[in-house]
Structure 1
Amino acid sequence: MQAHAIQGERVTLPVRIRDAAVGSAMFAVPAGAAQAVIGYSGLEVAEPLPGRAVCSLAFVRYADGDLGPYHEFAVAFLVRPPGEPPSPGIRGRLRGVGAFIHWLPVNQEFTLEAGRTIWGFPKEIADIPMDLTGRVQRCAVRFGGRTAIEVAVKPGVPMPSGAGAPSVDAYSCLDGVTRRTPWTLTPSEVRTRPGGAKVVLGDHPVAEELRGLGLDRARALTTSTVGHLQMVFEGAEEVRA
């Protein structure tokens, strides 16, 4: 059993999240601009349609898990498996895609160290207030009182039990090393809808990147909320992109 020492505590793999809640929105963005954002990773964005990539914004409240309770915000892009050319058609272009985690602020030091040490996730400390109780779910990311980004999503219609991706490869790149982490999700109380997201960008460097992708004026492809989410994170392995 693989284990890591984090701030004097032993964290064993796989890491399990027993309860979390999520709000998210997915956007179609120019593939060239998205590729420029993640070029440092050596990975290539997936293009469900020629010239278009997918960027996801997600905020997560972790209530019960091996890394303790905390808030998290993620900017991610769908990417192709390293070294595999795209296949014809939309399904072919999406076969085997993973999620490249470009930015991952959190509000607790323990998960910061664990995420960077175990998986190479690009975590940094921020103030991340969120409200998941209202008719519109809201989250903000702030540094020293200055807002980097605000996201609001409107929950949609209930989805059948078991809806959602059961597993995906999560990719990260930290200190020049690109890694892949097998990631299993078990969602319940899922709601989704077309559109339904509002994004307000501040003056953080990542906000400038997202503004360059047009996210401050784009309509979301879909928005989703998950009332209860369980997750399992396996160990990371280095990949040659």
Structure 2
Amino acid sequence: MASHLIQGRTVNLPVRVRDATVCSTMFPVRADPARAVIAYSGMDVAEVLPGKAICMLIFVDYRDGDLDTYHEFGVAFLVRQPGSTATAGLSDLRNGAAFIHWLPVNQSFTMEAGREMWGFPKELADIDLRLSSPYKRCIVRKDGRLVIDLLLKPGFPSPRSALPLTAYTHRDGMTRKIGAELSATGVRIRPGGALVRLGNHPVAKELSELGLPKRALLSTTVERAQMSFGPAVNVDA
């Protein structure tokens, strides 16, 4: 069993999350600006329509897991996996994976673990999650500046789901691939369903240059998720 020593604690792989609430929304953005945002990684965005890419905003309340309890916010893009021959359209959507571009958290242990074990771009930020009402809200501040205020409106119930996930990261000049498993209950999905207010932080400016705020394609809320994260594998992007 692979393991890592993080802040004096041994963390074994796969890392397991036993209880979390996951909220996410997807926005169509122009492919060329999105491609420029992740150019440092050597990866390419998936084009679900010609000239259109997908930017995903995600926030998670980790209540029970191997990396303790913490809040997380993520900016990710749907990307073509290395070696893929998919072209713009549904094949790009089916065969795509998530490239994690920015992943602030509010606890140092998970920040260090995420960086060392998977190359996740984790950094510390103030992440205020408000999940007790039907509407799910996340407010992210970094260095005292507002990055984003994101409100999701839960939609129609969806069946329990279990599915594999693939994510890519890039850190210290290396692109990595991470396989994960997700089991979700209390799932709700709706077209649109997201309200976005951007602040004056550089990440907010980056999102603004992609065209946000705008109408979301789809928003999803998961009341209870269980996850497992396997080891990172170095790849040539």
Q: TM-score range by the shorter chain?
A: over 0.9
Which residue is 2:168 aligned to? 171
- Structure 1 stretches lacking a partner, 5+ long: none
Which residue is 2:203 aligned to? 206
Identity %: 56
**Superposition deviation, residue 226 in structure 1:** 0.3
Which residue is 1:235 aligned to? 231
CA distance in 1, matches of 2:235, 2:197: 34
8 Å CA contact retained: 2:50, 2:89:
no
**Superposition deviation, residue 206 in structure 1:** 1.3
**Superposition deviation, residue 145 in structure 1:** 3.1
8 Å CA contact retained: 2:79, 2:96:
yes
CA distance in 2, matches of 1:146, 1:205: 9
**Superposition deviation, residue 111 in structure 1:** 0.0
TM-score of the superposition, structure 1-length normalised?
A: 0.95
**Superposition deviation, residue 168 in structure 1:** 1.8
Which residue is 1:145 aligned to? 144
- 1:129 is paired with a residue whose SS is strand
Q: Residues 35-74 of structure 1, C-alpha deviation per residue, up to 9 Å, x if partnerless?
A: 0001110011001111100010011000000000000000
Amino acid at match of 1:11: V
Which residue is 1:20 aligned to? 20
Q: Residues 146-203 of structure 1, C-alpha deviation per residue, up to 9 Å, x if partnerless?
A: 21111000000100222xx611211001122111000111111000101111111112
CA distance in 2, matches of 1:169, 1:222: 19
Which residue is 2:215 aligned to? 219
Instruction: Count residues in correspondence.
Output: 237
CA distance in 2, matches of 1:62, 1:95: 27
Q: Where do residues 1-241 of structure 1 align in structure 2 (5 Å cutoff)?
A: 1-87=1-87, 90-162=89-161, 166-216=163-213, 218-241=214-237
Structure 1's consecutive aligned runs of 4 or more residues displaced over 3 angstroms after TM superposition are: none
Amino acid at match of 1:86: A
**Superposition deviation, residue 96 in structure 1:** 2.3
TM-score of the superposition, structure 2-length normalised?
A: 0.97
Q: Which has more strand, going by share of residues?
A: 2
